[in-house]
Amino acid sequence: MLGKLRRLNQGVSKVALEESERLPSSERRRFLRSGLFTAGGAMVGGALAGIAPKALAATPYPPGIPPWTRTLGAGVVTDPYGVPSPFEKEVIRRNVPWLTADKVSSISFAPLQHLKGIITPNGLFFERHHAGRPEIDPQQHRLMIHGLVERPIILSMEDLQRFPSVSQINFIECPANGGMEWRGAQLNSLQFLHGMVSCAEWTGVRLSTLLQEVGINPEGKWLLAEGADGAAMTRSIPLEKALDDVIVAYAQNGEALRREQGYPIRLVVPGWEGNTHVKWLRRLEVGDKPWMQREETSKYTDLMPDGTAHGFTWVMEAKSVITLPCPEMPLPGKGIHQIEGLAWSGRGKVKAVDVSIDGGRNWQQAQLREPVMSKSLTRFSLEWKWDGNPALLQSRVIDETGYVQPTLAQLIEARGTNSIYHKNSIQTWQVNADGSVVNVQLS
């Protein structure tokens, strides 16, 4: 009887969907909302009239009663710090073992295919370490601000939290995000191709507030930020940016920073490449010129076709990617689907996102989902009726400065293929007739 009920549900579901597809868009929505068609895949009323009540009661679907409704659940503080459901065990960060020689100087990727909204949960925020994750006692941690300043200072965590706090939502993206794809399609995975970007609400103290406290000498033009990890990660930042929107953050999404995100304090440098957001921050030095450290000379520079290298290319240009469907999230069948994705720009707000289903020959404007904020992830979506034929899905973002996300050919024409950084070209997903999705590159 249970098998009969499942087959009936599937048959009714198919008929209902086919009927809805014959209707105009507005009528179809009313049909699906009317209560005649349910998420369980069965018509309410007549379609179930011939099924015995005992058989219905044996199923976990309404109007049956599932086993978890028949017993008491776990009590409060069973998990003093909340954890995801065990049914979400696949929603985790992952790494590519062969990508780096050792995990202490490596990357983990956020599962963009599973995330909703624009905020990345703290436990899923991508990781990038240069010498592993240090364990820092906040009671013993200090931030020194010195150099071309009038009043050098050393601050404890308690001192830092006495200053006025601010909160802002910003993305952080590693400049090597997608960098394996310059010379051809390499990985068939949204997570591994684009998962070095995440977004959070950051809380801390404006760097401008701290610099005002110490007083900057007239010749001060640059700032050196140094981390307390084993690599002593250091980056030079122009004072103009430091006085703009940079914060010294001690909280992420309402709680203390996670260890892998720089606990107890880090820089957040909105819109700029991830390695400038120095984690485990211990020292800020004001100087009159950039320091030309390892991570801004031999690394994190862009090698051009003529052999020269562009340095200090901090800004993460506008980028977008379709997250549904994607290789990890194939289409279950023909019919109405929502194409969904993420867009962002290091220069400000996302202004518009276009979507193509034919490899860029024709474009439709997607709907931006609120909130749309500066230097933050933005959600977009477009309703699509898939007829079962192969398709080439793309998205392109236009930011508030008018910058348009380039095609791969346009990016290579401007930059060549020697770099691994700042690859923000249009991503193409090939949808096959069976609903599977493959990473491809179009010439």
Q: Which of 92-96, 416-420, 427-431 has the lowest mean pLDDT?
A: 416-420
Spatial CB neighbours of 34, under 8 Å, sequence gap ≥ 6 = none
In whole angstroms, give the CA distance from residue 422 to residue 399: 16
Does 15 score more than 80 pLDDT?
A: no
Average pLDDT over residues 189-203: 98
Q: What is the pLDDT of residue 29?
A: 52
**Residue 206: exposed, middle, or buried by beta-carbon count in 10 A (0-12, 13-18, 19+)?**
buried
Average pLDDT over residues 90-97: 96
Provide the greatest CA pair distance for the chain: 86
Does 36 score more than 50 pLDDT?
A: no
Does 6 score more than 60 pLDDT?
A: no
Does 17 score more than 80 pLDDT?
A: no
Average pLDDT over residues 155-170: 98
Average pLDDT over residues 413-434: 95
Q: What is the pLDDT of residue 56?
A: 67
DSSP letter (8 states) at residue 327:
T
In whole angstroms, give the CA distance from residue 398 to residue 379: 13
Average pLDDT over residues 299-316: 92
SS3 category, 271: coil
In whole angstroms, give the CA distance from residue 148 to residue 217: 5
Average pLDDT over residues 215-237: 97
Does 378 score more than 60 pLDDT?
A: yes
Q: What is the pLDDT of residue 397?
A: 98
Average pLDDT over residues 35-64: 59
Confidence of residue 57 (pLDDT cuts 50, 70, 90): low
Average pLDDT over residues 41-50: 47
* Helical H segments across 147-267, by residue range: 157-160, 190-194, 207-214, 239-242
Q: What is the pLDDT of residue 53?
A: 65
Average pLDDT over residues 328-338: 98
- H or E stretch including 302? strand 302-303
Residues in the chain: 443
Q: What is the pLDDT of residue 50?
A: 57
Question: Phi and psi at residue 13, in whole multiples of 5°?
Answer: -60, -45
C-alpha distances (whole Å) from 406 to each of 361, 398, 420 are 14, 10, 16
All domains in the chain, ordered by first residue: 94-310 (3.90.420.10), 319-440 (2.60.40.650)
C-alpha distances (whole Å) from 297 to each of 1, 179, 182, 310, 421 are 70, 18, 21, 9, 13
Query: Using omega within 30 degrees of 0 as the cis cutoff, is the peptide bond preceding 327 cis?
Result: no
Q: What is the pLDDT of residue 430?
A: 98
Question: Closest by alpha carbon to 224, among 149, 290, 307?
Answer: 290
Q: What is the pLDDT of residue 234?
A: 97
In whole angstroms, give the CA distance from residue 12 to residue 3: 14
Q: What is the pLDDT of residue 322?
A: 98
Question: Closest by alpha carbon to 302, among 416, 181, 183, 406?
Answer: 416
Average pLDDT over residues 341-358: 98
Spatial CB neighbours of 16, under 8 Å, sequence gap ≥ 6 = 36, 37, 43
Q: Which of 174-188, 242-256, 315-329 has the lowest mean pLDDT?
A: 174-188
The residue ranking higher by pLDDT, 21 or 78, is 78
